[in-house]
Amino acid sequence: MSLKYLHTMVRVKDLEKTMAFFNLLGLREIRRNDSEAGRFSLIFMAAEGDEDCPVELTYNWDGDDGLPSDSRHFGHLAYRTDDIYALCQHLMDNGVTINRPPRDGNMAFVRSPDNISIELLQKGEPLAKAEPWASMENTGHW
């Protein structure tokens, strides 16, 4: 029996804000399915070259009162980056809170507008410790 990873699905409350957040991470919409009968949209977003590993944003047109909650039933999404410091600075410059800064030059966590935990990992060896990251405290939780 063979098995192939397809995608990770997360429910979102504010589609525009969530898509903008994932755009900041470098993901782009690769396909969409709007269901008039089911009153929902499925938007698949992926980083360039990673189109076979998308995140599926499920948006219910009539709202979802359970979102955003702090439910972590799926854990987190993880993305590797060439420069964790540059990505975290880009996110901060665009209003994203760095919940767990990359103090070690290797790992950081942020949350999407829908409270989805996102792990960011440095490609290859950790970067040398640098300010302001090395002394930055955690904000909230991830």
Phi, psi at 80, each rounded to 5°: -95, 145
Question: Any bridge partners for residue 43, and if so which?
Answer: 32, 57
Residue 131 falls in the annotated catalytic set:
no
Structure tokens at 131: 């300010």
Q: Could you tell me which residues come within 8 angstroms of residue 98 by beta carbon, excluding any fewer than 6 positions away?
A: 88, 91, 92, 108, 109, 110, 136, 139
Task: Please identify which of the residues 51, 56, 119, 125 carries the catalytic annotation.
Answer: 119
Q: Could you tell me which residues come within 8 angstroms of residue 20 by beta carbon, excluding any fewer than 6 positions away?
A: none
Q: How far is CA 83 from the centre of its chain?
A: 16
125 CB burial (10 A radius; 0-12, 13-18, 19+): exposed
Residues taking part in catalysis? 119
